[in-house]
């Protein structure tokens, strides 16, 4: 990398092609590592889940979901016989009921 001083006291950065490629590859890798998973996750998410999708998402049985719905533990929306569950509400339920791992004290 070279720096040249311009007439108005500013520095001009001069880099070789290989240096620029390395720099931009590093920047792109960081962007892809941080942003791409979030974008892909958001694209794959539906705002509302069916019972079957909720069962797959959480591993809960049909009966467990019905019990949690009947006892107002999880949010849902019903139109006629169609019941849908808001993904955000289910994620909040899971976060609120998260129990962190405790290490054994020896």
- pLDDT tens across 38-72, in order? 777 776 788 999 999 999 989 999 999 999 999 99
Task: Report the half-sphere exposure of 97 (CA within 13 A, side-chain side).
Answer: 9
Report domain extents, the chain.
2-44, 48-96
Q: Read off the pTM.
A: 0.56
Q: 3 or 78: which carries more pLDDT confidence?
A: 78
What SS3 state is found at 22? helix
End-to-end CA distance of the chain: 56
Give the model's pLDDT for residue 38. Answer: 78
Q: Is the pLDDT of residue 106 over 60?
A: no
Tokens of residue 50, six digits: 């069916």
String of DSSP letters for 27-43 = HHHHHHHHHHHHHHHHH
9-41, pLDDT tens digit by residue? Answer: 676 666 788 888 888 888 888 888 888 777 777
The Cα 15–Cα 10 span in angstroms is: 16
Give the model's pLDDT for residue 89. Answer: 95
């Amino acid at each position: 990398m070279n720096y040249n001083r311009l007439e108005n006291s500013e520095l001009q950065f001069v880099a070789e092609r290989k240096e620029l490629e390395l720099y931009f590859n590093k920047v792109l890798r960081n962007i892809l590592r941080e942003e791409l998973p979030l974008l892909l996750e958001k694209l794959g998410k539906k705002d509302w889940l069916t019972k079957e999708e909720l069962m797959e998402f959480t591993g809960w049985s049909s009966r467990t979901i019905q019990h949690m719905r009947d006892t107002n533990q999880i949010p849902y929306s019903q139109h006629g016989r169609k019941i849908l569950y808001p993904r955000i509400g289910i994620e909040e339920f899971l976060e609120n009921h998260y129990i962190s791992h405790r290490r054994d004290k020896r």
